[in-house]
Structure formats: C-alpha cells, structure tokens
Chain A
Amino acid sequence: DSGVTQTPKHLITATGQRVTLRCSPRSGDLSVYWYQQSLDQGLQFLIQYYNGEERAKGNILERFSAQQFPDLHSELNLSSLELGDSALYFCASSAAGDIQYFGAGTRLSVL
C-alpha cells in the first residue's frame, strides 16, 4: 500500500457529463501530481500542486481542472467529457521532490 488513496476506483459516465476524482496524499506529503494513462498516449503528466498552490501544468485540457485543499487532498475535475477521455487517472504524492508514490488510480469510462 503506497499510502495514497484515490476514489472512486471506477467511474462510468456519459459524454458531456462532469466528474470529480479525489486523491488523498501520503501523510506529510505536500506535493500532489495527476497523471493520465491511456493506450494511445501512455502515461502523461497533467498537473502538480504543492501545498495548495498550482505548481506546474502538463498536457491538461482546458476542460480539466484541479485544486488542492488546505487538508492537502486534491480533486481533479473533468467536464464536457468525450469518449477520448476514457483512461486511468493516477494521483501521486511526494515530499519535496523525492520519490512519487502512486495511488491505485481511477478508471474512467465515458460511454
């Protein structure tokens, strides 16, 4: 167990809908990262938060947004969903740029 918790494990929704993925980092980790894993794009970095502040953006669509709350948990919001958004979404956390520990992921299926 990595200590990073992601909920839900699975999400099935329809095109055009909006979903929220949640991540609780390891105790004490200030950095949270979101990654997307899909068959065609592989593992891609989406966004990073550090102690509540956005620190870096990667290949994140404008329809996607995230935030990190004062208790350090993070949420990734995906809106106007398209079929191509179906993927595994991972959250990872780390302490000060050290090893990133990954959650088990949320599998999103857009029908």
Chain B
Amino acid sequence: AQSVAQPEDQVNVAEGNPLTVKCTYSVSGNPYLFWYVQYPNRGLQFLLKYITGDNLVKGSYGFEAEFNKSQTSFHLKKPSALVSDSALYFCAVRDPYNTDKLIFGTGTRLQVFP
C-alpha cells in the first residue's frame, strides 16, 4: 500500500534561515509525490509535485523539494524562511492503482519566528 510519513509534528526556524520539512514515502511503482500547504481556516494549496525528471522540483512561494529515490524521501525546502510561511504542510502520494486519490501524511506545523 502507498503511504507517506512526516516524522516531525512541528518544525521551528528563525526568519531568514533555511527550512526543511521532511517526508518519506512507501510506494509500489513510480511515486507521484506532492506538497500542499494549509493556512488557518483555509483549504489546502498546491505547492509542487514530482512525477518524473529532475530530482529537484521548484514550486510556489520559493519552495522546492528534493526527491531521493535511494532514501525514499521527498523533503520540502526553502533557502530563506519568512514569518508568513508559518502554516501546516502536508506531503502526499497519489495512488495510481486506485483512481488517483491522494494519501496524505499527518502534517508538519512550520513555525517561523521573527
């Protein structure tokens, strides 16, 4: 079965510092991986996806993610964090064997301090 794990419930980082939000996956076949962000009282916003190609994927708001097949990881990164990046981040894998539903991780709350 397809699954993703987000090992950290919360990540704290100072504004201007680089940030990393971790995600590992378990899939059979090629992984289709996504990152979404959820701000308070809002829906999930798509950040980026990995289907195939370059291991470094660039997305919205200056975020990028690094796909690592050997470590089965898809960590979200940003070189310089902003206070406004504080939100809940979800990693997800698409299940191509079951009509493309998304399977989400448990989420990581990112707190960026001024």
Which A positions have Cβ atoms within 8 angstroms of B? 2, 4, 6, 31, 33, 35, 42-43, 45, 48, 50, 55-56, 58, 90, 92, 94, 97, 99-105
Check B106 against A42 for contact (C-beta < 8 Å).
yes
Find chain B residues with CB under 8 A from A94 CB. 100
Q: How far is the CA of A50 from the CA of B90 in the complex (A)?
A: 25
Which B positions have Cβ atoms within 8 angstroms of A? 34, 36, 41-46, 49, 90, 94, 96, 98-107
Given contacts A45-B103, A56-B101, A92-B44, 6 further A-B contacts (CB under 8 A): A48-B99, A58-B101, A94-B100, A97-B100, A99-B46, A102-B46
Number of A-B residue pairs having CB atoms within 8 Å of each other in the complex: 52
Check B104 against A43 for contact (C-beta < 8 Å).
yes
A-B interface, 8 closest residue pairs, ranked by CB to CB distance from nearest:
A56-B99, A43-B104, A102-B43, A102-B44, A97-B100, A45-B101, A104-B43, A55-B99
Q: How far is the CA of A56 from the CA of B98 in the complex (A)?
A: 7
The residue from B36, B43, B101 contacting A33, defined by CB atoms under 8 A apart? B101
Q: How far is the CA of A33 from the CA of B103 in the complex (A)?
A: 12
